[in-house]
A and B are shown apart, each in its own frame.
Chain A
């Protein structure tokens, strides 16, 4: 596997020093995105992440929840690209401990993380596999889109995270999911051909620097290589468990092309897959 790396420059050294990054990452950003966008990205990573919630329409309507939370002094702003997503602009207390949260009326999910399940667009009679499911935000969203019909197979390898997955699905009233604690690499053991698959790949990515600034430094070439190898294996398994004509959505929380564009490129060439447009209006095109 090739890991992209580029020559060090005065600018890359200066930005790495100023923003506290491993210079390797900065050299890459400058090459992939250019100077202006790199600085925008580094600046954006300094701003705290806005809390966001997705209303669980299995349990409550968007309007009812909105008025209930607003009456408690919580200020919400609609996320334009998701019908039931809101940013929390102001909250007098933690939104992770309200009565409505405990009743499963909503769950906390980053605005960008609301997209993959939405794009997959599962239908009520379909069999859907969520290959890396914990803590379950996207599984809950799939169940909502399917209105608790059809069937979701939700896999997670880590025991502690599987427990959290069960708890979250239960709190939110998800009835149509089966949780397996197993490596998605062994998915063929279930002998299921799915209509749709979500591979929200594990990646310890740079996409979460705002939540975990240690990632500015700790994501060197060995990490990228490790993740990319695992992701390539996972996506291969995914394609093998997909029905003819089925749809796979691959998502990561990383900016590294070795974990994104290269993985996709590998799998479409190997299996002769067709790339579909997503019909959503946010985001940027991939690197080519």
Chain B
């Protein structure tokens, strides 16, 4: 395992992935202002954020002992592809309204149990979603509870009734199922 500052190439790729996937100009810059990016390289590469104000201190400590983890992990690189994780989504969610699907309170627990989202569970949807887009599934308070993949475009989502419209890729119930 190796821990080091992420390369500028990696950071550029994260920025591009996030800004493009969520179609929100400057989203990356807003969400990760003042953050240092650190790569932990094992079988794959995990990307962590840590306050930039202490990056010199961090780099010095890293020279002396390999950490288990630091800051929060916002996603992973698999080959050249950056895949955003639960906390990455949490960080960007408050800076965007595009690619969001709001669900009704009754559906919240089901999603947190790993279930997909039915059309009838959606209370509101933004108008920018295309089929296969990554979407942020949020509850009535706009809290991001899952990352999903749209199976139909925006205008078909609410019409779909008891058909699955968003595939649940990763939800915060993960913390109970795996993250203990």
Contacts and interface: CB of A to CB of B under 8 A. Distances in A.
A269 B69 CA distance: 36
Interface string A139-180: 000000000111101000000001010110111011111111
Given A148-B51, A150-B54, A164-B180, A170 B72 contact: yes
Contact of B67 (A68, A96, A176, A179): A179
A269 B176 CA distance: 46
Contact of A170 (B57, B61, B73): B73
Contact of A173 (B53, B90, B172, B179): B90
Interface in B29-57: 35, 49-51, 53-54, 57
B70 A68 contact: no
A182 B66 CA distance: 10
A176 B52 CA distance: 10
Contact of B70 (A127, A178, A191): A178
**Most chain A beta-carbon contacts within 10 A, residue among B65, B73, B109:** B65
Nearest to A159: B68
Nearest to B73: A170
A102 interface: yes
Given A166-B69, A171-B175, A177-B70, A153 B61 contact: yes
B69 A151 contact: no
B136 to A, nearest CB: 13
Contacts of A287: none
Interface string A79-92: 00000000000000
Contact of B72 (A162, A173, A190): A173
**Most chain B beta-carbon contacts within 10 A, residue among A166, A170, A176, A182:** A170
A interface secondary structure, majority: mixed
Interface size, B (range): 20 to 34
Contact of A97 (B61, B87, B176): B176
Contacts of B90: 103, 173
A181 B108 CA distance: 35
B141 A68 contact: yes
Contacts of B139: 99
A137 B1 CA distance: 28
A172 to B, nearest CB: 9
A99 B51 contact: no
Contacts of A182: 65
A171 B177 CA distance: 13
Contact of A102 (B54, B70, B87, B173): B173
A189 interface: yes
Interface in B53-100: 53-54, 57-58, 61, 64-65, 67-73, 87, 90
A62 to B, nearest CB: 16
A164 B175 CA distance: 10
Contact of A189 (B65, B145, B179): B65
Given A99-B143, A166-B68, A151 B179 contact: no
Contacts of B175: 102, 167, 171
Nearest to B90: A173
A192 interface: yes
A137 to B, nearest CB: 14
B4 to A, nearest CB: 14
A153 B69 CA distance: 11
B176 A103 contact: no
Interface string B123-161: 000000000000000010101010000000000000000
Interface of A: 68, 96-97, 99, 102-103, 127, 148-151, 153, 162, 164, 166-167, 169-171, 173-182, 189-192
Interface of B: 35, 49-51, 53-54, 57-58, 61, 64-65, 67-73, 87, 90, 108-109, 112, 139, 141, 143, 145, 172-173, 175-176, 179-180
6 contacts: A103-B90, A127-B57, A149-B51, A170-B69, A171-B172, A179-B69
Please provide the 3 A-B residue pairs with the shortest distance between their CB atoms, ordered closest to farther. A167-B179, A102-B172, A181-B68
